[in-house]
Amino acid sequence: MKSLQTRRRRVLGLIAGTALLPLVAKSGGAIIAADNDLPALIKRLSGNAKLTEGGIRLTIPELADTGFSVPVSIDVESAMSGSDIVKSIHLIAPRNPRPLVASIALSPLMARASWTTRIRLGGSQEVMAIAVMADGSARAGRADVVVSISACIDGT
Amino acid sequence: MALARLSVQSKARRGEAVPVRLVIQHPMETGFQMDTQGRPVAKNLIRFVVCRYAGREVWRAELGSGIAANPYVEFSLRADMTGDIEMNWEDDLGEKGSVRARLDVA
């Protein structure tokens, strides 16, 4: 009976080990490593500018039943004409395996500095958006979201 | 050829804010998932989407694994001339997709 149990454990261990292997191999990548350093990532995206809170709104449900598809809207207060232009917006989910969700370069052809999409979330977290303005200043907006079921579960 | 839908009105007045919605049928595989045999599923993400209006770039988005499957985008552009609204994208497998819609501006 005992030998059967040890064999079962060894098999389980082997399965767990092989399941982890690709993750370990991937996490060695330079891009991911750089992305997971959140302060460095924010610094890189904002072009070293000091982040000011406000002037940007992040709309996201307070409670998401699953993290597989969560609607997010980023709205920046900007006329999108003259010198009051948003150059780029960046969406960051700090608890995701790859925190940088999207980087969008905007142009004055847009009626509003507003962009909506659906994102994956690896757990409850404070999602963050950074807007870089044409004059080089940067704004940050944050919103808390509670996720019941993470998008980061094994596919098996 | 990926399936996609670009939803936009066909007519607009000059200066009007025209809402545009795009959805692309794509799995957005993160590379973190396993299949039923425990083998990793190869990463396959739409790396970028570019939106053009009458030949001019409106926005360019670089997407990551944090974008949900079947990427959806909504925004509004300022109608200033008659022309095509065109979306182009490419995924990690090198598969390119595009979709376009005409906007008549009076």
> Which tens digit of pLDDT belongs to each residue from A79-119?
999 899 999 999 999 999 999 999 999 999 999 999 999 99
- The residues that bridge with A63 in the sheet, in sequence order, are A146
pLDDT of A69 > 80? The answer is yes
Classify A42 as helix, strand or coil: helix
Residues contacting B39, CB < 8 A, separation 6+:
none
Give the CA radius of gyration of chain B.
Answer: 16
Classify A62 as helix, strand or coil: coil
Range with the poorest average pLDDT among A31-35, A69-73, B70-74: A31-35
In this structure, what DSSP letter does residue A110 have? B
- What is the b/e burial string over A56-95, where b = at least 16 CB atoms within 10 angstroms of the residue's CB? bebebeeebeebbbbebbbbbebebeeeebbbbbbbbbeb
Q: How far is CA B64 from the centre of its chain?
A: 14
Q: Which of A103, A115, A116 sits opposite B62 (nearest CB)?
A: A103
Q: With bands split at pLDDT 50, 70 and 90, how would you rate the model's confidence at A152?
A: confident
How far does chain B reach from its first CA to its final CA, in angstroms? 34
Q: For residue B33, what pLDDT is reported?
A: 87
Q: Which two tokens stand for residue A59?
A: 């709309």
Give the CA radius of gyration of chain A.
Answer: 20
Q: Which of A22, A101, A106 sits opposite B64 (nearest CB)?
A: A101
Residues contacting B40, CB < 8 A, separation 6+:
A22, B31, B32, B33, B34
- How many A/B residue pairs have CB atoms within 8 Å? 119
CB distance B98 to B88 below 8 Å: yes
pLDDT digits (tens, 9 = 90+) for B24-68: 999 999 988 888 898 999 999 999 999 999 999 999 999 999 999
Dihedral sign for Cα B20, A101, A109, B91, please.
Answer: negative
Return the half-sphere exposure (C-beta side, CA atoms, 13 A cut-off) of residue A124: 7
Looking at per-residue pLDDT, the higher value among A16 and A86 belongs to A86
**Inter-chain contact A103–B61, Cβ cutoff 8 Å?**
yes
Residue B100: count of CB within 10 angstroms of its CB: 13
Provide, as residue numbers in chain B, all residues whose Cβ is less than 8 Å from the Cβ of A102.
61-64, 66-67
CB distance B18 to B73 below 8 Å: no
Beta-strand pair A63-66/A138-149: parallel
Provide, as residue numbers in chain B, all residues whose Cβ is less than 8 Å from the Cβ of A106.
58-59
Question: Looking at the whole model, is its pTM more than 0.90?
Answer: no
CA distances from A64 to A118, A126, A134, A147 (A): 12, 13, 34, 5
Report the alpha-carbon distance of residue A92 to residue A130 in Å, rounded.
8
CB distance B51 to B87 below 8 Å: yes
Q: For residue A6, what pLDDT is reported?
A: 58
Mutation for testing the A interface, residue in B44, B48, B65 having most A CBs under 10 Å:
B65
